[in-house]
Every structure is written in C-alpha cells, then in structure tokens.
Structure 1
C-alpha cells in the first residue's frame, strides 16, 4: 500500500512580483481631530457605523433598501459585534444601500 508523503514546503516558489493582500486586516485607525463640536463626532461615528452595516448587508445579498428593515439591520449589527443602531442609523444604512447600487 502506497502512503503519501506529507510536506510543509510549497510546491513552487511564489513569483517575487505577485501581490498577496493581507487577509481581513482592519484599517489603520487615527485619532479624531480635537476641538470639534460634540454633534460632529456623533454624526461621524454614526456614518461610519452605517457604512459598515451597509457593506455587511450588501455582502450578505441585501441589495434593495426595502429588504433592509430595522430588524435585519440590527441582527447584522449583532453579528458584527457592534451596538444596535438607532432608527436614524438604520435610515442611513438604507440610504447607503439605495445610492450604492
């Protein structure tokens, strides 16, 4: 009976000019600028959250704003591990899906 040999070496060397992007690395986070009104920070973070949720919904196959109800958006937020979005954020998510097509 023949037994296959197990090796940990690659069969061929990768091309030195090939590009292999890192897998799911979060973007570099910078500090927000100081001295802005509190409303600016609230709206900025709300936009970021809405964008993350819209991308996750689009990746999961939700392409119509009518398919993205508040419940579905909040379940997506739970799956991503972020706090449940407000009704305002849910409206922003639907707007991003509408204009992202």
Structure 2
C-alpha cells in the first residue's frame, strides 16, 4: 500500500468498561472487528465518541481523521479512517488479531 488512503474499520464497542482498551477481535455483522472497551456509558453517543477518539489515538492520528460511518445506536460500528498508511494498516491487523500487547 503506497501513500495514504481511506479505509473502513469494523469496531465492536464495549461501553462502561472498568478499563479502557483497544485490542482483540469480535466476529460481528461487518466481519472481523477490532474491540474497543471504553469507560463511557452508551448514552447520548458518549461511548461512540470515546471509541472514535481511542481508535485515532491508538493509530497515532488526529481525531478528525476518524469518523463514524454507521452504527451510532449499536455496539457494532464502522469507522472511516483517513490517512491510512501501510504501517497503520499493519497496526490495525496486529491489534485485531491479538498479537499486540
């Protein structure tokens, strides 16, 4: 993958978690999804926003580079990530497939 591009990332959000964490795999409706556990409750989009910011931070991107595509009222979400590079793509796979941390 040369340069940077936009990609859609499937995510499973676990709101109300005692420990915030990005990593793990969940086979959901959009295929293999990255698990993101957040402290915030699933109220008024707070968990979704926390997951969006956690994904951006984990990938070393500005929060504005990650946006919600679908799943505002669901634990299963699709995020659009702008500025994806091969290194970030590899990091996503590593986090999702459990070989990280």
| Structure-2-length-normalised TM-score | 0.29
Structure showing the higher strand proportion among its residues: 2
| Structure-1-length-normalised TM-score | 0.29
Which structure has the higher relative contact order (CA within 8 Å, separation 6+)?
A: 2
Structure showing the higher helix proportion among its residues: 1
